[in-house]
Amino acid sequence: MGIFDSFKGKRLIKALKDEDVTVRTNAADALGEMGELAVEPLIDALNDISGDVRGTAARSLGKIGDSRAVSRLVQDLDDVNRDVRKNVVWSLGEIRDPGAVGHILQAMKDEEEDIREEAAISLEKIGEPAIGHLLQALKDDEWHIRASSAEVLGKIGNPAILPLVRTLNDRNWSARELAAETLKGMGWQPGSNIEKIYYMIGMGDWTGLVAIGEPAVEPLVWALRDEYAQVRANASRALGSIGDERAVRYLAPALKDPVADVRNCVVCALGAIGNRSAVEYLVPTLGDRNQSVRENAAIVLEKMGWKPGNRIEKIYYMIGMGDWAGLVAIGAPAVEPLVWALKDESDEIRASVAHVLGMISGKGAVEPLIRAMEDRSDDVRESAARALGEIGDPAVLPLIRALNGGSLYVRENAAIALEMIGEPAVEPLISALGGSDADLRRYAATALGEIGDKRAVEPLILSLGDRYEDVRKSVARALGSIGDTRAVEPLIKASKDVNKNVRESATMALGEIRDERVVAPLISALGDELWSVRGYAAEALGKVKSASAIEPLVMAMKDRDERVRWWVVWALGEMGGLAEEPLTHALKDEDWNVRRAAKEALENIRVKSA
């Protein structure tokens, strides 16, 4: 450097400390032409508060190309200023220091697309020293990193070919696939049959591998241990299509693959090979958790001429084939395997298994079926409840316990099962009305109402005094369902309950009993503050069909709520010819639904009178 340049350099270095940002920026830019003298001052300028100064200093360091700057530049790859980061990446590419490769790869994850592109360009500039890092990046979790790395390797050219060929038998499917695609893009041709086979595995050319035949068996066996399930599945399919019996002993361990689709492909491959040595491996597969695997194993075994060696093998074989009628015929010995099948992956299978257990009526199935009432599938829960209903008496006490401590699903379905069981469940359900759990009492009352046994009437009447309104509501409805006149007076009292839901249910229940004693309280209920109680009262009066209710119902035609008026019209329609005049007036109601209901009621009356 001449005297003039030395003087100029010192002046520019001094200018890096100027108060004016523009002066500092221009100085940093000019120092890029000054060579080694400027390296340390420019490194120091990377600490400037101004992003413009930092970015310009970073770019000038790249122009100079001195590797002393690398360790400091990489620290600014996470600078808040995008221009700084971009200039740092560019400069690292210009300096071409192999030690910067890993840092530049991280820059390929930058949120800014142009910085990611700049990072790829810088790696290409560094070239051969970057190959190892780029090959590793082919396994990155982020797709764009893998794709960009493959693109850079392709641009590096010949030095990357041999490392890419070696990557064809990497355990990582993404690395293999990208290596194969990159080599194809570079115009590379396999130099040997084994290179061709691994290249085809990388490209996913399974049809081509089958065409190669026996020489592809060993590499395909290797692919059975791939980390990617789809590769394992395709490798097993290809081995099955090739049909080489040597593959049997290698396919057998894959019957325990964690992925059902792979296990299924392995079963089919063993079937395609057809060697009977596979039987000993396939028989345990009848107990697979996946129905498709079990079914295919059963089919393959049948084609191989296998016959069950004992009853338990026969049962699992029948489960695999979905021979539910056959399992019912076997009866009790099938219960334990069927209980196991209640945990199948398929909703349809679990529902079918529950149904079969109900038909067999095995006592050992009760608790598993109660657990199945908590299944994620509506169909399975319903099937389990029906099965318990089919089992009957042995299921009653466990179902009562389920009412007391199960989840919402379990309680609801336990109640359904008890309703199906009917008479044998009555006494335990009556006892449950005195239980400490409110939900237990509520579900017990509901079940008793559905069963309809008159033994429950007096205990239910006592339960109308329960301190929980939900219980009282369910009790009232149950009494209405049973329809015993002993409940009339208690229900009349309940129709005045402080809780609206209880009043609604009691009013509805009175209508179901249809006793003349209910008319007066129902007429009174037409004046309740709640529209729903008034509406249910009108409906109940329509069911009782007492002539003494016509005039109160006519008065109720003036109700402010159109829903109540609709029920009043329906009730009057049930009264027959005496209600024609008020129904005619209802044809002028302001609500369209009420007018339509009145028209239909009048038409029905005239049809009946004719």
pLDDT tens digits for 159-189? 999 999 999 988 888 999 999 999 999 999 9
Start-to-end CA span in the chain (Å): 124
CA dist list (Å): 1 to 5, 37, 59, 506: 6, 9, 21, 107
Right CATH for 527-610 from 1.10.275.10, 3.30.450.90, 1.20.59.10, 1.25.10.10 = 1.25.10.10
- pLDDT for the residue 327: 92
* Rounded-to-5 percentages of helix, strand, coil across the chain: 80, 0, 20
| Class of domain 189-307 as given by CATH | mainly alpha
Q: What confidence score (pLDDT) does residue 7 get? A: 67
262 touches 233 (CB < 8 A) = yes
Average pLDDT of every residue of the chain: 90
For residue 193, give both structure tokens.
């049959």
Report CA-CA distances (Å) from 276 to 2, 49, 251, 547: 90, 78, 14, 85
Q: Please, what is the angle between helix 260-273 and helix 291-303, to 10°?
A: 10
**pLDDT value of position 552:** 92
Q: Residue 458: count other Cβ atoms within 10 Å of its Cβ.
A: 14
d(CA 340, CA 530) in angstroms, rounded, equals 52
Residue 441, φ and ψ in degrees, nearest 5:
-65, -40
Cα dihedral across residues 202, 204, 206, 211: positive or negative: negative
Q: pLDDT tens-digit profile of 57-83?
A: 999 999 999 999 999 999 999 999 999
- pLDDT-derived band at 4 (thresholds 50, 70, 90) equals very low
The DSSP output letter for 300 is H
What CATH number does the domain located at 309-421 have?
A: 1.25.10.10
**Residue 405, pLDDT above cutoff 70:** no
139 with 145: CB under 8 angstroms?
A: no
Average pLDDT over residues 458-466: 94
What value does the mean pLDDT take over residues 317-331?
A: 91
The Cα–Cα gap between 65 and 68 comes to 9
Please provide the CATH number assigned to the domain covering 1-126: 1.25.10.10
Angle (nearest 5°) at CA 38 between 35 and 42: 130
Buried b or exposed e, range 314-351, using 16+ CB within 10 angstroms: bbbbbbbbbbbebbbebeeebbebbbebbebebeebbb
Across 215-224, 296-305, 397-406, 549-558, least confident range: 397-406
Statement: residue 555 has pLDDT above 70: yes
- Rounded to whole angstroms, the Cα distance separating 355 from 322 reads 13
What pLDDT is stored for residue 5 in this prediction? 58
Q: pLDDT tens for residues 216-265?
A: 999 999 999 999 999 999 999 999 999 999 999 999 999 999 999 999 99
* Residue carrying structure tokens 């237990």: 440
Which range among 418-422, 423-427, 459-463 has the greatest average pLDDT? 459-463
In this prediction, residue 610 carries a pLDDT of 63
Segment 298-310, tens digit of pLDDT: 999 999 999 998 9
Calpha distance 47→66 (Å, rounded): 18
Q: State how far the Cα of 382 lies from the Cα of 372, in Å rounded to an integer.
A: 9
pLDDT of residue 1: 46
Give mean pLDDT, residues 37-58. 92
**Range(s) for CATH 1.25.10.10 in the chain?**
1-126, 189-307, 309-421, 527-610
Q: Above pLDDT 70, what percent of the chain? A: 98
pLDDT at 212 over 90: yes
The pLDDT value recorded for residue 2 is 44
- pTM for this predicted structure: 0.63
Residue 350 has pLDDT above 70, yes or no: yes
Q: What tokens appear for 416 in the block?
A: 């359904």
Average pLDDT over residues 549-576: 91
Distance CA 28, CA 46 (A): 10
Task: Give Dmax (Cα) for the chain.
Answer: 128
Q: Range with the lowest mean pLDDT among 394-403, 497-506, 595-604?
A: 394-403
